[in-house]
Amino acid sequence: MIEKKKFSLKVLTSKTHKLHKDGTRRGGVEDLVVATNPKSSFAEAVKSIKTNVTFSSVEKELKTILVTSPESGDGKSFLVANLATAFAQDGKRVLIVDGDMRKGRQHEIFGIPNDKMAGYSNYILRYKSTEDMGMMAFIKPEIYVKPTQVPGVYLLPAGPTPPNPLELISSENNKKLLESFREQYDIVIIDCPPALGLSDALVMSKYADVNIVTISNAKTKIDQLEDVKKNFEKVNSKIAGVVINKAKVGGGYYSSYYADAYYSKIK
Ligand SMILES: Nc1ncnc2c1ncn2[C@@H]1O[C@H](COP(=O)(O)OP(=O)(O)OP(=O)(O)O)[C@@H](O)[C@H]1O
Ligand SMILES: [Mg+2]
């Protein structure tokens, strides 16, 4: 159990969004809390997280934000959808890349089909940068990137699960594709799979300006967070901050806090 008292940090957010009764069900459009309830305490929480994330990229312009967590169900996808909305409410043009090719669900949150012929996995396979295009010029970005019901938020759904997601993620094509997104959008947010047991997020961290880790207060063990940190260090990537999703499943509420410089403060 990670207590907020153990952090010498400002608690940025407060009681949030009501959880589904079963405590585990995956939300759809009802997860778009910042869009549907922009004055809620949850929306305020996400805006604080947005501000902190913005300020955590002092050395370079903030363009690409990666979100991961130790395990499944820690709230990565939920945070990504709402954080993207918060940036868009500031007038930014935001792209969500569903980088979870194994169980991506951003399309469910935004109510957009995950076209088996399109999506991120297919886009990487077929992407060529403009100079290489030639005969490939028929690849139209709009086949892959879809506008969402949230003004300013665009979504690249995960697409079909490839035999080896890591190979696609590590490819030169993926690098070029993500570089092109940097030029086309104000903010790119990548929703990644969990960082323990899978290397996808670590590989993707090379393309991100800021890496955010979401943890579940009631569930995440400090060792798991430390392991995530070590894994990032091994690939020379830094974690800019942690979003603590404090689950109180019985009562049906979660809270979120944003923390940085947290490691030494957690017991
Ligand atoms: N702060 C929160 N308030 C309310 N509900 C939340 C919160 N965070 C997550 N949830 C809910 O918890 C469930 C799991 O969240 P989510 O799918 O975002 O986790 P995840 O880390 O992306 O999991 P996976 O690794 O399996 O993709 C969803 O139903 C989501 O609606
Ligand atoms: Mg997810």
| DSSP secondary structure letters along 3-55 | -GGG--S-----EEEEPPTTS-PPPSGGG-HHHH-TTSHHHHHHHHHHHHHHH
- Residue 246: which pLDDT band, with cuts at 50, 70 and 90? low
- Is 229 contained in some domain? no
We report the CATH number of the domain holding residue 88 as 3.40.50.300
CA atoms of 156 and 127, how far apart (whole Å): 13
Mutation to probe ligand 1, out of 78, 106, 243 (largest number of atoms < 8 A from CB): 78
pLDDT at 103 over 50: yes
The first and second tokens of residue 119, run together, are 């999506």
- Is 224 contained in some domain? no
pLDDT at 17 over 80: no
Whether the CB of 120 sits within 6 Å of ligand 1: no
**Structural domain tally of the chain?**
1
| Domain span at 195 | 4-204+234-249
- Is 218 contained in some domain? no
Per-residue pLDDT averaged across 71-88, rounded?
Answer: 94
State in Å, rounded, how far the first CA of the chain is from the last one: 9
- Is 220 contained in some domain? no
- Residue 181: which pLDDT band, with cuts at 50, 70 and 90? very high
Q: Which ligand is nearest to the CA of 106?
A: 2
- Is 222 contained in some domain? no
Which residue is listed with tokens 């363009």? 63
- Is 138 contained in some domain? yes
Whether the CB of 78 sits within 6 Å of ligand 1: yes
- Is 118 contained in some domain? yes
- Is 258 contained in some domain? no
Whether the CB of 245 sits within 6 Å of ligand 1: yes
